[in-house]
Structure 1
Amino acid sequence: MTLWTDREFGKLWLARVISTAGSAVSGVALPVLMYSLTGSAVYTGALAALTAAPYLVFGLFAGALVDRTDRRTVMVCTDLVSAGLLASVPVAAALDALTPLHLLLVAAGVASVGVWFDAANFGAVPALVGCRNLVRANSAIWSAATAVHIVAPSAAGVLIVVIGPAGAMALDAVSFAVSAALVRMILRPLSKTGKPRSTLWADIREGLEFLWREPTVRLFTALGIGQAIAGGAVSGLIVVYAFRVFGVPGTDARIGVLFSALAAGSFAAIVLMPRISGACEPRHVTTIGLSAGAGVMALLVGVDQWWLAVAGTALWGLTSTVVIVNGLTVRQLATPDHLQGRVNLVGRMVTFGVGQPTGALAGGVLADAWSVQAALVITALPLVFAAGVGWSKVKAGPDRELGHGLK
């Protein structure tokens, strides 16, 4: 059976694509709504920070608990909770009761339950497709999702003009409900059966010890921190960057073009990843991606024409996605099935959960204190440092063989 004739994988794939389509719309609408309400780069950056901070708060417990429970149930329940939280935004807007605090709470709530979904999904994909199909499965999910991201932000820009950003967010609530239904329909088990043989704290300790002692996983996690800090700054500043540098307001449909360019770059990275991973060692892939990303941030600082900003944003999507997907695949291949949730959540916790909010908040504060360009320059420094570490490891020798944990 090939990946695309596997109906059970198809259900998971479709669930992720539909949910991603809705999230791509709210990913544009939410910061636009916040900036429209406040005019503050700090508040807008705080939104980006709150999408990542829950990984730091819940990462250890979510990974350990999900590895002890049914992954399908966790995925369905978290999708439904997200749907309810997102639906509250258009309701509050209709009642003229929407506030910045409400938006921050919704962002934090959706991100918090998303930690539990990710913990389950990290283990569900390799459990469903196996080690041999894992790279193709990740590429299939990410390529479809990023293809949606190319179209959805432009559509979001139109929707924001027509029905407003709060109304556009209602679509994301529907997408989460549909995703929950599709995941519920998957017939094959997404978890191994059996009762836990140790305590919760022992499970947490086991995941931490594996990440620390496994040299390849430890290295890629460390390199990911630099990427996450820079990525947090770019995510938190993209709407502010468009307005302050080019005079494009949040209600302008061109905002959607900028987000679509970001997704187009990500899509190119996903399409190329199977060939890249087959031709280069993982350390080379990540290090080149980090180095190129630093160059792209320099480009974004120096441009003064809109089309160059769009092109630079697309290049950022390409380089950052290469680093992220390569790191995720390495962790999945190097980690045994019973540790998938814990190790991947801890890895995401220290990169996305620490680096992303740090970069987003720092970017917002620096942009309000000095300028968007200064914020991008300063938050690019961790990326440069990570690239330097990566090149030093490349010179030290080749990567070891991966995949032992999943065979």
Structure 2
Amino acid sequence: MHSYSHGAEGPLLRDPDLRRYVAARLISLAGTSVTFVVMPVLVYSLTSSATWTAMVAVAEGVAYLLTGLWAGLAADRFERKRVMIGTDVGAALVLFTIPIAAWFDQLTAFHVLIVAFTAQMIFVFFDAANLGALPTLVPRRRLPSANSVIAGGGTVVEATVPALTGALLVVMSPASLLVIDAVTFLASALLVRAIIRPLNQARTGPLRGKAAIAEGVSFIVKHPVLRYMTVIGFLVAFSGGSLVGILVVWADRNLGIQEGDWRLGFVFAAWGVGAVIGSFLMSRLVYRFGGVRTALMCLPATGVGGVITATSTYWIAGMVALAAWGAAYMVVAANSVTLRQQVTPEPLMSRVMTVGRMTSFGAGFPAGALVVGLLADTMDTGSALLICQVSIAAATAIAWLSPLRTAPRHLPMPEDATT
């Protein structure tokens, strides 16, 4: 047996397979952080439209909505390592089309949206396999710490790479920067390939199409905590989508920060700085109060951060508000992922995880981006963003009026969970 078994104690990253897993995710995230800045900047520079710019986030979210259930099934049916390697390579090839088109002066906003949709659709399959793989490498009771390490490292990347990207946009074209993202996907594939331990448990029988998908959906619907957390996840993601959908437009119209301004990178980095703080706090809050109570406490803080951000007109105040919003949002989002991983049986893991991601990033996120984009073309951008924070008020009300208020501090784990 491998020396780094589920029962091993000590620092999590002493496990070489977990180090490879985390490194692959962080390297890929570094490239994705470049895309997070470049894609909306590209579309806004081509169209000057808030609606078109918001459609980047819509296209990425719709991809999750359309393919999430099938991606979860594929990740539970096939070897997760092969799924992750194949999708990494596929995403790299798709992203390369944008710089190539730009170099030949053939790039259009529609092309950017098609690539955003296709790359995200490929990523959905990677994400399903990746989220399902983590509990095979880490004991369930240590998942809050593992997710905190991953989220913390990820948000350090998200806090620094966008600022660097903003600086590079002063001297490089946005399309050329996407080469970086494509290369990081290839690096991620090599790291995943180097993981030694299997990322699936042995299967006792075949998983058959719609019945297998329905099994994952049914688990969430019947679970006394996950069904409420899934609805809350949709509403919280709606709020996040409303920000991401017009972040470039908000920076331009509210703060006076445009493409080529060195401060643009810091607009994107501010959210990441807050998320670093949130990821640091998440595991500590969960261990002290439990996952459900942590959600109850942090939902109101998310709403406050959104309201202050929407009403900010001075760039430094806007950055501080954005960081506070990012911290509360990260606690809620990462905690929701951890709860699903802790209570789901391993054979259902990828299907349950993708249902949760579908309702948040596949439905709530693009809905928020679309609504705020349409509103921002007819009214003040800050007012449009402020209206969309009603979703957080609804999420908070549902949480505090539901049975979540009396949920136990530690939720029961499945029989196949290694503690």
Structure 2 residue 59 is the aligned partner of structure 1 residue 55 = no
**Distance in 1 of aligned mates of 2:378 and 2:311:** 19
**Distance in 2 of aligned mates of 1:176 and 1:197:** 31
Quote the residue 1:335 is aligned against: 344
Q: Which deviates more, 9-18 or 290-299? A: 290-299
Structure 2 residue 266 is the aligned partner of structure 1 residue 257 = yes
Q: What SS does the corresponding residue of 1:162 show, helix, strand or coil?
A: coil
Report deviation, 1:396: 4.3
**Distance in 1 of aligned mates of 2:299 and 2:351:** 26
Quote the residue 1:29 is aligned against: 38
**Distance in 2 of aligned mates of 1:404 and 1:287:** 21
Q: Which deviates more, 313-322 or 193-202? A: 193-202
Report deviation, 1:262: 0.5
Report deviation, 1:374: 1.9
Quote the residue 1:90 is aligned against: 99
Q: What SS does the corresponding residue of 1:187 show, helix, strand or coil?
A: coil
Report deviation, 1:226: 1.0
Report deviation, 1:305: 1.2
Quote the residue 2:240 is aligned against: 231
CA distance 1:152–1:51, change in 2 (3 Å): same
Report deviation, 1:198: 4.3
Q: What SS does the corresponding residue of 1:194 show, helix, strand or coil?
A: coil
Structure 2 residue 404 is the aligned partner of structure 1 residue 404 = no
Report deviation, 1:166: 0.9
Quote the residue 2:130 is aligned against: 121
Is 1:32–1:251's contact at 8 Å kept on the other side of the alignment? no
Report deviation, 1:9: 0.5
Is 1:283–1:393's contact at 8 Å kept on the other side of the alignment? no
Quote the residue 1:244 is aligned against: 253
**Distance in 2 of aligned mates of 1:58 and 1:196:** 23
Question: Within 5 Å, which residues of 2 pair with 1:137-176?
Answer: 137-176=146-185
**Distance in 1 of aligned mates of 2:356 and 2:405:** 23
CA distance 1:226–1:190, change in 2 (3 Å): same
Report deviation, 1:375: 1.1
Report deviation, 1:373: 1.6
Q: What SS does the corresponding residue of 2:272 show, helix, strand or coil?
A: helix
Quote the residue 1:17 is aligned against: 26
Is 1:283–1:394's contact at 8 Å kept on the other side of the alignment? no
Report deviation, 1:252: 1.4
Quote the residue 2:77 is aligned against: 68
Is 1:35–1:250's contact at 8 Å kept on the other side of the alignment? no
**Distance in 2 of aligned mates of 1:46 and 1:212:** 30
Partner amino acid, structure 2, of 1:129: V
Quote the residue 2:402 is aligned against: 393
Is 1:41–1:364's contact at 8 Å kept on the other side of the alignment? yes
Is 1:228–1:359's contact at 8 Å kept on the other side of the alignment? yes
Partner amino acid, structure 1, of 2:390: L
Q: What SS does the corresponding residue of 2:410 show, helix, strand or coil?
A: coil
Q: Deviations over 1:163-211 (max 9, x none)?
A: 1111111100100000001001111000123363342222111111111
Partner amino acid, structure 1, of 2:67: F
Q: Deviations over 1:95-141 (max 9, x none)?
A: 10100011001100111011101110111001112213322211111
Q: What SS does the corresponding residue of 2:197 show, helix, strand or coil?
A: coil
Identity %: 37
Alpha-carbon RMSD across the aligned residues, in angstroms, is 1.4
Unaligned runs of 5+ in 2: 1-7
Structure 2 residue 48 is the aligned partner of structure 1 residue 39 = yes
Report deviation, 1:301: 2.6
Task: Write 1 or 2 for the structure with the bigger share of helix.
Answer: 1
Report deviation, 1:366: 0.2
Identify the match of residue 208 of structure 2 among 192, 196, 199.
199
Is 1:16–1:179's contact at 8 Å kept on the other side of the alignment? yes
TM-score scaled by length of structure 2: 0.94
Q: Deviations over 1:65-88 (max 9, x none)?
A: 210100000000111111111111
Report deviation, 1:284: 2.4
Identify the match of residue 296 of structure 1 among 293, 296, 305.
305
Quote the residue 2:140 is aligned against: 131
CA distance 1:165–1:354, change in 2 (3 Å): same
Is 2:47–2:109's contact at 8 Å kept on the other side of the alignment? yes
**Distance in 2 of aligned mates of 1:71 and 1:401:** 29
Is 2:304–2:325's contact at 8 Å kept on the other side of the alignment? no
Q: What SS does the corresponding residue of 2:206 show, helix, strand or coil?
A: coil
**Distance in 1 of aligned mates of 2:307 and 2:409:** 33
Report deviation, 1:251: 2.2
Is 1:231–1:356's contact at 8 Å kept on the other side of the alignment? yes
Identify the match of residue 366 of structure 2 among 357, 375, 388.
357
TM-score scaled by length of structure 1: 0.97
Partner amino acid, structure 2, of 1:311: V
Q: Deviations over 1:147-175 (max 9, x none)?
A: 01111011101111111111111100100
Is 2:293–2:409's contact at 8 Å kept on the other side of the alignment? no
Q: What SS does the corresponding residue of 1:401 show, helix, strand or coil?
A: coil
